[in-house]
Amino acid sequence: MAEPIDTLFLESIAALPRHAEVESRSHGDPIRDGSSLTVSRCAELFDAQLGSRHLDLAARSLRAEGAGFYTIGSSGHEGNAAVAGALRLTDPALLHYRSGAFFLERARQGSGGNPLDNPLRDILLGIVAARDEPIAGGRHKVFGRHDLNVIPQTSTIASHLPRAVGVAFATCRAPKLGVEAAWPQDSVTVCSFGDASANHSTAVGAINAALYTAYSGVPLPLLLVCEDNGIGISVKTPTGWIERSYGHRDGLAYFGADGCDIASAYDAAAAAAAFVRTERRPAFLHLRTVRLMGHAGSDLEAAYRVPAEIADEQRRDPLLATARLLVAAGLYTPQDVVDRYEAKRDDVAVLAREAAGRPRLESAADIMAPLQLPDPNKVAAAVLPRGVGRPAPEEDRLTLAQSINRALLDILGHHPNSLVFGEDVARKGGVYGVTRGLLKKVGPARVFDTLLDEQSILGVALGAGVSGLLPIPEIQYLAYLHNAADQIRGEAATLKFFSSGLYRNPMVVRVAGYGYQKGFGGHFHNDNAVAALRDIPGIVVASPARPDDAAAMLRTCAAAAQVDGTTCVYLEPIALYHVRDLHADGDAMWSAPYASAEEWGATHVPIGSARVYGSGKDLTIATFGNCVYMSLRVAQRLAHIGIEVRVVDLRWLVPLPTADLLREAKSTGRVLVVDETRRSGGVGEGIVTELVAGGFDGDIVRVASEDSFIPLGDAALRVLLSEESIEAAALALCGNGAGSV
């Protein structure tokens, strides 16, 4: 059954007067007076528009046959071909999911005349989830290609805007560092999104961050393209809302155009791109479009739009408008347009039939290939090499905070593409002094303060990482991570997955967290919720407890990010930052010498490896973070009554060190899982599961903090796990030789 817009297009072209007067314009003439779009360029853009339209029609046919899986189309948005036409191949693009014509025009710019390089085929392979689709490998239908500088995005409900800010920032920052970025220094970062997405808090925050950055005098060549079709699925955007919201923002150059008129769209896009490229400041391109054929193939548009409204938008079809321009310019007759339209249909139909028969992903291993952990040998080889840096005096015993500080300085010295940034990290040196002195030693180009917005902090890291830099952002407290967690879950973690590893997100996100702060705290400064991180495929979560481990693990994370593009989250226990003593005042057993340059290779901690304290035969305590400190204190007290304990510091929460855990568990036959996170959804659940799944048949007891937020003052100790609870559980487990999970 033919789609109404398909029939209407053919009928409208057929109705054009066959012998009407035309202007005989040559290929190099403007398509109409006053426009910078030439006749020949208009024809090229029309070809991209035709291809995009027939891809939409084919997607619906494939879905009806059970051969296709994605029907969110670009129909009505084909004017975005003009945006691609006004930009360069080397301009990085983060695209809205209605960007079919943009992608086809960008592919034309980069094809080099190679007939085998067929972007129509690429998109169709994505629609049918074929494993040989060249960017996502059948994992999702995305617009993306590495050689076209199109960074793949999935269902972009504004989540890609913070990354776009980061890409634009990195484009200008990399030359200041003397390192090569992925994009030319004069490039423009383009980011497209819909009018409904423009209302999302992520978009609002990202645009604010762009303006804040530019206002601060930092170059930010970002072109924001809002394709305004007036509706988000079924919810209308009030008429004039986008222009009212963004048309008069101080510091944001605004360009508006009718996106259904290719000449208007091209002129506005060219002016906006020229402004951004010249001024190195953000601009907002507002394209007024229409949405044809509904939101997706499953969307019954008649349920929420009246027939007259649908018909009015169909009459604004951008393909019709472009065809009329080309006929009026004398380049095509109406029959020429029909012939080209049907020829494109035939081309797409042939490719669609071929794509439908291509093999799909069939095994979990194939699907998960981009999520694999980095090669440990490559990581080990990339850890700071011997002979770099200055050895510290042997007697200089450092706290956890001091050790992290020293490691950051070494990483900044070894990796010229590395950056440290976040709220308060530069001038103040962090709330707890962890980054103190780095600004003075390294300079403001590499250590800098950001605005107070975690989404933007992570977005800058995402953009910097994909652009060739090594970002080390700080999230000031674990509680502050949750309002921005999708930047890790939906953007950082998915990039390699949806690009088959062609694009990477190297970053080490430092997060101050956990409970047990004294004299300060409450929910927002004592947070023990890490379940949201442990649920994200493909990332690494490090949780150091001791100063020597902290430095070594941070170097490991930096190496994994550099050589493999790994996204690492590095959780730092606030309560242990400045602790020096373990058992008694002055024993200095919670401080450690910083490894000298000659020792660095030996102090690298492989991802997923635990640290074992003691060789007790009676009980294994499996724990991490603050509870390593607490468990070692308990272990000493138990030793005084004849109970020998070994304490396993897991160190890595993702992936858990399962092999080490099982080995140490089997050596005693009894395991006490000591978990400072919450009983429900806490890390302990995963530890117990790994023990059981690994065949451990001994006794297991788990103690954890309560399912509560953490209150102020001493009341926090009523819901957090205590040494007394750990000791009581250990005595019960060892006393009767039996336990329960």
Contacts 24+ apart (CB under 8 A), 293-296: 293/3, 293/5, 293/56, 293/60, 293/73, 293/75, 293/76, 295/72, 295/233, 295/234, 296/71, 296/72, 296/73
- Are 601 and 386 within 8 A, CB to CB? yes
Cα 115 from chain centroid?
33
| b/e burial code for range 621-633 (CB count within 10 A of at least 16 → b) | bbbbbbbbbbbbe
The residues that are catalytic are: 525
Please give the radius of gyration of the chain, using alpha carbons only, rounded to the nearest integer.
29
CA distance 30 to 13: 22
End-to-end CA distance of the chain: 60
Number of Cα atoms under 13 Å in the Cβ half of residue 235:
6
507-513 and 447-449 strand pairing: unpaired
Q: Which two tokens stand for residue 328?
A: 């009026």
CA 737 centroid distance within chain: 48
CA dihedral 72, 73, 79, 81 (to 10 degrees): 100
Backbone angles phi, psi at 678, to 5 degrees: -75, 155
Tokens encoding 710: 């953490």
Strands (E), 517-584: 540-542, 567-573
What is the distance between the alpha carbons of residues 371 and 379, in angstroms, rounded to a whole number? 16
| Residues 287/80, Cβ–Cβ less than 8 Å | yes
Helix (H, G, I), strand (E, B) or coil at 584: coil
Cis peptide before 655 (omega within 30 of 0): yes
* 619 bridge partner residues: 645
Q: Indicate the SS3 state at residue 478.
A: helix
- Residues in a beta bridge with 324: none
Largest Cα–Cα separation, the chain = 106
Q: Quick one: three-class SS letters along 27-77?
A: CCCECCCCCCCEHHHHHHHHHHHHHHHHHHHHHHHHHHCCCCCCCCCCCCC
CA distance 275 to 237: 28
Measured CA to CA, the distance from residue 667 to residue 670 in angstroms comes to 8
Q: Edge to edge, what strands does the sheet with 470-475 contain?
A: 447-449, 418-422, 470-475, 507-513, 567-573, 540-542, 652-654
Full 3-state SS string of 384-441:
CCCCCCCCCCCCCEECHHHHHHHHHHHHHHHCCCEEEEECCCCCCCCCCCCCCCHHHH
* Helices and strands: H and E segment counts in the chain: 26, 22
